[in-house]
């Protein structure tokens, strides 16, 4: 059994969506220094830093918060599909049959952007029409390999369409080492009370 960790590590060097706070990791005490007995750090980061989950409450006033998301949707069979087009639209989705899928993770050229030191605005995104198509196909979880499902600096229409339908969005995946196919996904966001989002550890298990 092979396990793929598709989580981007939280670090001070991690790129963030423009306008979001950067990740800060400050070592407060160091073991065996100044009579300290342990290492202790202070972490500071956005609720949407790195690999993270967007619950409906991210945009919907009375939507589910991250701590209330049903775990049965965040764990189970997930399909990784590879898209080479510069945008995921309805025409691209016509290449795939999602009738037996509930969770879809899009592998695009975005995954290779994680090696860049600065944010890249020209990433692959999901159009509003494609979001509606995914909902019509019964998809409950949508993942993508960069920091937003929406086009950069555009109105969050794709987010709104998905979250309004109680579709869970996972952003910031690193799928470079993952081949297209079916996997068992385990996605566990931090359990933040009333949270609008949270970083998550996401792994794909292949038997």
Q: Cite the active site residues.
A: 58
Question: CA 137, CA 99: separation in Å to the nearest integer?
Answer: 6
Which ranges in 62-166 belong to alpha helices (H)?
A: 71-74, 90-93, 128-136, 157-164
Question: CA 7, CA 200: separation in Å to the nearest integer?
Answer: 8
**Widest pairwise Cα distance in the chain:** 63
Question: CA 33, CA 2: separation in Å to the nearest integer?
Answer: 40
Cα four-point dihedral sign 156, 157, 162, 165: positive
Q: Which residues of 61-70 are buried (b: 16+ CB within 10 A; e: fewer)?
A: eeebbbeebe
Displacement of CA 12 from its chain's centroid (Å): 19
Q: Is the distance from CB of 182 to CB of 207 less than 8 angstroms?
A: no
Report strand pairing: 198-206 vs 52-54. Answer: antiparallel
Helix (H) or strand (E) holding 171: strand 168-171
């Amino acid at each position: 059994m092979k396990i793929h960790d598709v989580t981007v590590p939280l670090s001070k060097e991690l790129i963030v969506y423009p306008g979001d706070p950067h990740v800060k990791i400050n070592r407060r005490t160091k073991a065996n220094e100044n009579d300290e007995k342990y290492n202790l750090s202070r972490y500071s980061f956005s609720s949407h830093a790195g690999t993270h989950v967007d619950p409906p409450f991210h945009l919907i006033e009375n939507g589910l918060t991250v701590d209330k998301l049903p775990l049965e949707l965040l764990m189970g069979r997930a399909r990784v599909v590879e898209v080479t087009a510069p945008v995921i639209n309805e025409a691209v989705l016509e290449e795939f049959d999602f009738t037996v899928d509930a969770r879809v993770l899009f592998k695009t050229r975005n995954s290779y952007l994680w090696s860049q030191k600065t944010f890249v605005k020209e990433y692959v995104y999901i159009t509003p029409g494609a979001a509606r198509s995914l909902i019509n196909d019964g998809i409950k979880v949508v993942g993508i390999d960069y920091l937003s499902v929406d086009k950069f600096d555009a109105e969050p229409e794709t987010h709104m369409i998905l979250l309004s339908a109680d579709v869970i969005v996972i952003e910031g995946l690193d799928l470079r080492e993952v081949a297209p196919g079916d996997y068992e996904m385990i996605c566990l966001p931090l359990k933040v009370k009333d949270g609008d989002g949270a970083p998550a550890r996401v792994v794909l298990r292949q038997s």
